[in-house]
Amino acid sequence: MSACLRFTRRVWKSFLDQKGLNITLAKPGRIEASLKIEPYNGTVHGGLLLSLTDTIGSLAVASKGQYMTGVSTDISASFVRPAGKPGEILKMVGTVTALGRSLAYTRIDFFNEKGDLAAYGTHTKYVGKSAGHKNDVKLSEDGESVMEGEDVD
């Protein structure tokens, strides 16, 4: 397991109990995850997709080695087609499109079980005061090892 994936999972555990969200890949600036749609989800509604946009966008920032992922300044989603029904798997890919001194910009694409783009979200975060946390790490370009900071199991 890559250092980037181990670190991103550590940050994820600090967010909340997983509740079925499975992080399948983490590389610096990119997160892939899946969620089994449960009967209590019913149809995949906009509130769930916006919550996942927030979570996956934050984890994408974390995948760059930032333990504290800042605060949201803007979040939006566009719904393209049905995302799925109970029993199906919703897949998502989160990418950091830009990371500056004060702001991080992310995009999250959601794919239904057929592989069709179902929705996409954007998430902007203020990261100006979160950089330099004692738990931050510097990852190798491929995310396989920690170059600076403490590695985690």
In the chain, the domains with their CATH numbers are: 3-134 (3.10.129.10)
User: Sorting pLDDT into bands at 50, 70 and 90, what band is 19?
Assistant: low
pTM of the predicted model, to two decimals?
0.84
Q: How many CB atoms neighbour CB 101 within 10 A?
A: 7
* Residue pair 116/90 in contact by the 8 Å Cβ criterion: no
* Cα–Cα dist 50/78, whole Å: 10
How confident is the model over 99-112, as a mean pLDDT?
96
**For residues 130 and 119, what is the distance between their CA atoms, to the nearest angstrom?**
29
